[in-house]
Protein backbone atom coordinates (compact mmCIF):
# COMPACT_ATOMS: atom_id res chain seq x y z
CA UNK A 1 0.00 0.00 0.00
CA UNK A 2 1.25 3.50 -0.81
CA UNK A 3 2.35 5.78 2.00
CA UNK A 4 1.43 9.31 0.88
CA UNK A 5 2.66 12.48 2.51
CA UNK A 6 0.82 15.75 1.94
CA UNK A 7 2.59 18.95 2.85
CA UNK A 8 0.57 21.98 3.93
CA UNK A 9 0.51 24.74 1.33
CA UNK A 10 0.82 27.75 3.63
CA UNK A 11 4.21 26.66 4.87
CA UNK A 12 5.88 27.28 1.53
CA UNK A 13 4.09 30.51 0.75
CA UNK A 14 5.54 32.23 3.81
CA UNK A 15 8.83 30.36 4.21
CA UNK A 16 10.28 29.50 0.81
CA UNK A 17 13.51 28.28 2.39
CA UNK A 18 11.55 25.42 3.99
CA UNK A 19 11.15 23.66 0.64
CA UNK A 20 14.27 21.63 1.27
CA UNK A 21 13.48 20.49 4.86
CA UNK A 22 9.93 19.56 3.82
CA UNK A 23 11.24 17.51 0.92
CA UNK A 24 13.75 15.88 3.27
CA UNK A 25 10.91 15.00 5.63
CA UNK A 26 8.93 13.34 2.85
CA UNK A 27 11.89 11.31 1.65
CA UNK A 28 13.00 10.37 5.21
CA UNK A 29 9.48 9.05 5.88
CA UNK A 30 10.00 6.92 2.78
CA UNK A 31 6.68 8.14 1.50
CA UNK A 32 5.72 6.53 -1.78
CA UNK A 33 3.94 9.67 -2.95
CA UNK A 34 4.35 13.31 -1.92
CA UNK A 35 1.81 15.87 -3.15
CA UNK A 36 2.45 19.57 -2.77
CA UNK A 37 0.30 22.49 -3.86
CA UNK A 38 1.04 26.13 -3.42
CA UNK A 39 0.77 29.60 -4.89
CA UNK A 40 2.05 30.00 -8.46
CA UNK A 41 4.94 32.06 -7.09
CA UNK A 42 6.58 28.76 -6.10
CA UNK A 43 7.81 28.48 -9.71
CA UNK A 44 8.85 32.17 -10.01
CA UNK A 45 12.46 33.08 -10.73
CA UNK A 46 12.91 34.62 -7.27
CA UNK A 47 11.99 31.29 -5.58
CA UNK A 48 13.24 28.89 -8.24
CA UNK A 49 16.46 28.05 -6.35
CA UNK A 50 14.42 26.78 -3.36
CA UNK A 51 12.04 24.77 -5.52
CA UNK A 52 14.85 23.38 -7.66
CA UNK A 53 16.91 22.34 -4.60
CA UNK A 54 13.88 20.51 -3.15
CA UNK A 55 13.18 18.87 -6.53
CA UNK A 56 16.82 17.78 -6.88
CA UNK A 57 16.81 16.34 -3.36
CA UNK A 58 13.69 14.31 -4.13
CA UNK A 59 15.07 13.09 -7.47
CA UNK A 60 18.31 12.02 -5.76
CA UNK A 61 16.18 10.10 -3.24
CA UNK A 62 14.59 8.12 -6.09
CA UNK A 63 11.45 10.16 -6.75
CA UNK A 64 10.09 10.99 -10.19
CA UNK A 65 8.60 14.47 -10.29
CA UNK A 66 5.62 15.90 -12.17
CA UNK A 67 4.92 19.61 -11.69
CA UNK A 68 2.98 22.43 -13.33
CA UNK A 69 0.66 25.34 -12.74
CA UNK A 70 -2.90 24.04 -12.82
CA UNK A 71 -6.16 25.98 -12.95
CA UNK A 72 -8.32 24.67 -10.12
CA UNK A 73 -11.55 25.54 -11.94
CA UNK A 74 -10.51 22.90 -14.47
CA UNK A 75 -11.10 20.33 -11.72
CA UNK A 76 -14.43 21.60 -10.39
CA UNK A 77 -13.25 24.09 -7.77
CA UNK A 78 -15.71 26.99 -7.85
CA UNK A 79 -12.97 29.56 -8.31
CA UNK A 80 -10.59 30.45 -11.14
CA UNK A 81 -7.44 30.04 -9.15
CA UNK A 82 -4.08 28.78 -10.32
CA UNK A 83 -1.87 26.65 -8.07
CA UNK A 84 1.60 25.20 -8.33
CA UNK A 85 1.20 21.42 -8.07
CA UNK A 86 4.05 18.98 -7.52
CA UNK A 87 3.66 15.20 -7.41
CA UNK A 88 6.69 13.14 -6.39
CA UNK A 89 6.55 9.34 -6.50
CA UNK A 90 9.06 6.63 -5.58
CA UNK A 91 7.02 3.81 -7.06
CA UNK A 92 5.94 5.05 -10.49
CA UNK A 93 5.70 8.14 -12.66
CA UNK A 94 2.44 9.87 -11.78
CA UNK A 95 1.31 12.30 -14.47
CA UNK A 96 -0.50 15.45 -13.52
CA UNK A 97 -4.26 15.15 -13.90
CA UNK A 98 -6.12 16.32 -16.98
CA UNK A 99 -8.91 18.82 -16.66
CA UNK A 100 -12.32 17.43 -15.83
CA UNK A 101 -14.34 20.58 -16.50
CA UNK A 102 -14.27 22.49 -19.79
CA UNK A 103 -14.17 26.27 -20.06
CA UNK A 104 -17.63 27.76 -19.99
CA UNK A 105 -18.78 25.00 -17.61
CA UNK A 106 -16.84 26.22 -14.58
CA UNK A 107 -18.73 26.25 -11.29
CA UNK A 108 -19.19 29.51 -9.45
CA UNK A 109 -19.10 30.00 -5.71
CA UNK A 110 -22.86 30.61 -5.98
CA UNK A 111 -23.26 27.15 -7.59
CA UNK A 112 -21.36 25.57 -4.72
CA UNK A 113 -22.89 27.29 -1.68
CA UNK A 114 -26.17 28.99 -2.64
CA UNK A 115 -28.15 26.16 -0.98
CA UNK A 116 -26.62 26.99 2.41
CA UNK A 117 -28.42 29.33 4.82
CA UNK A 118 -27.04 32.81 5.49
CA UNK A 119 -25.30 32.86 8.88
CA UNK A 120 -24.63 35.69 11.27
CA UNK A 121 -21.19 36.35 12.69
CA UNK A 122 -20.06 33.45 14.87
CA UNK A 123 -22.93 31.09 13.88
CA UNK A 124 -22.73 27.41 12.90
CA UNK A 125 -25.07 25.78 10.42
CA UNK A 126 -27.27 23.04 11.87
CA UNK A 127 -27.41 21.06 8.59
CA UNK A 128 -23.77 21.34 7.48
CA UNK A 129 -21.02 21.16 10.12
CA UNK A 130 -18.48 22.65 7.68
CA UNK A 131 -20.58 25.80 7.23
CA UNK A 132 -19.49 28.13 10.03
CA UNK A 133 -18.59 31.80 10.25
CA UNK A 134 -15.88 33.61 12.11
CA UNK A 135 -16.82 35.85 15.01
CA UNK A 136 -16.08 39.14 13.25
CA UNK A 137 -15.69 42.47 14.98
CA UNK A 138 -18.48 44.98 14.34
CA UNK A 139 -16.03 47.18 12.41
CA UNK A 140 -15.20 44.28 10.05
CA UNK A 141 -18.89 43.63 9.44
CA UNK A 142 -19.44 47.34 8.72
CA UNK A 143 -16.69 47.26 6.08
CA UNK A 144 -18.10 44.08 4.51
CA UNK A 145 -21.56 45.63 4.28
CA UNK A 146 -20.12 48.40 2.09
CA UNK A 147 -18.96 45.95 -0.58
CA UNK A 148 -21.29 46.01 -3.61
CA UNK A 149 -23.14 42.74 -4.33
CA UNK A 150 -21.17 42.31 -7.58
CA UNK A 151 -17.87 42.57 -5.68
CA UNK A 152 -17.26 46.02 -7.10
CA UNK A 153 -14.51 48.31 -5.95
CA UNK A 154 -13.72 49.40 -2.41
CA UNK A 155 -14.42 53.09 -2.06
CA UNK A 156 -11.75 55.49 -0.80
CA UNK A 157 -12.10 56.07 2.93
CA UNK A 158 -13.56 52.65 3.74
CA UNK A 159 -11.45 51.17 6.51
CA UNK A 160 -8.84 49.89 6.97
CA UNK A 161 -7.01 53.12 6.17
CA UNK A 162 -3.84 51.28 5.08
CA UNK A 163 -5.72 50.19 1.93
CA UNK A 164 -6.05 53.82 0.81
CA UNK A 165 -2.33 53.71 -0.02
CA UNK A 166 -2.74 50.76 -2.42
Residue 69 has pLDDT above 90, yes or no: yes
More confident residue, 89 or 162: 89
- pLDDT value at residue 154: 62
Is the Cα torsion angle 155, 161, 165, 166 positive or negative in sign? negative
More confident residue, 53 or 10: 53
CA dihedral 72, 66, 2, 34 (to 10 degrees): -70
Q: Per-residue pLDDT averaged across 29-44, rounded?
A: 84
Number of C-beta neighbours around residue 87 at 10 A: 20
Q: What is d(CA 35, CA 67) in angstroms, rounded to the nearest whole number?
A: 10
Question: What is the value of pTM for the model shown?
Answer: 0.67
- pLDDT value at residue 10: 41
Domains delineated in the chain: 4-89 (3.40.50.150), 116-161 (no CATH)
Q: How confident is the model at residue 126 (pLDDT cuts 50, 70, 90)?
A: very high
Residue 66 has pLDDT above 90, yes or no: yes
Amino acid sequence: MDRPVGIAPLTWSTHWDRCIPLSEHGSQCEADVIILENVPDLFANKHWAHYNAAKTLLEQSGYSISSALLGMADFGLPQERFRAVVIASRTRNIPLPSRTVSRGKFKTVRDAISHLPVLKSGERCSIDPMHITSKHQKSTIAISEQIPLDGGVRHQGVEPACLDKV
